[in-house]
Structure 1
């Protein structure tokens, strides 16, 4: 797409004059980076005959560079000085990656310790909510709903993600976080579960707290 953009905008650029940068999580092994490089070659992104045409960069290190540029334009006067140290945390959906750097000059840093991280991204919150759904409505019912109503299942996952974003955007420590339940999900579960859904949900306890799942009751009472 990048080459297509250059072509569409009449920008004359030889491919051997382009350096491609692919960012990867800090926790990736050298083997994983090598596979990414191989796949990029198979996709025609770079050629081994062109030196340094492809650079595999760690995502938190790229974020660190971005932060320096932003601080350079920061009118508040806050900036790093030579000798200052900082930790950059790149908290993504799948992974959390960290780097620790010392400023040694303009846009120059020294790595204090090796980049590190783990599979601690925010998508695991979504997975935990999905487990709650499976616990309440049953794994078989959830799987069947996914197969028979794929579009509405994806909509449910999107609503879980939106609810999570609203929750962390809310400055209140406590409160109600609602997840909008698709109508098709409600009807499907009513057809497949003999128990009263509202009672089933209200009796469910998560970590000995039942208020966690009040978002279901909101939907059933207001549909």
Structure 2
């Protein structure tokens, strides 16, 4: 398996392993906890399976803005695009692109090591711009599953013609609602993340990716830091 693929799946497997919720409770409480654990594990497993798929997804953001997530295999590549920025992760580099005014600059860094977990902080900039990525959602689900005070309710919906399972999480920290499609794509997210309101919804899903999805934006300036960080 390619190094990047191994790295991404290490992250997903480690998250799934951490989601099991156990404890001694009353019959009613035990039933609720077991259901919650099974539900969160199922959604995490869907997100994990999506790491092996080729797909592209477009999302509606507030104020008419859009964002996209694209992923392909052989070789494993992923791309996240949001208003004013783009993040690509390939076997050659991790590229962070930001647009300021009329100029776009992409900073190239070394790709995630084969034996290391990709840091969730990698997606911080996307999160600030309203695109909550699957790794961030997995982290939020983990925290909710391990919070004994969290209240998690399930519902089902259809997004972009795809069936999705949703969880509404109410907890002492940031409340949120997240939906994951049957295929494992992030369907929607609404809630508070790090104190900021975030909202997105899937509007288009295709089991194919455009040829330029993982390329740097046309005309972008490049700062190559791979040698310095390797």
More helix by share: 1
Give the TM bin, normalised by the shorter chain.
under 0.3
Bigger relative CO (Cα 8 Å, ≥ 6 apart): 2
Calculate the TM-score normalised by the size of structure 2: 0.23
Normalised by the size of structure 1, how large is the TM-score? 0.23
Greater radius of gyration (CA)? 1
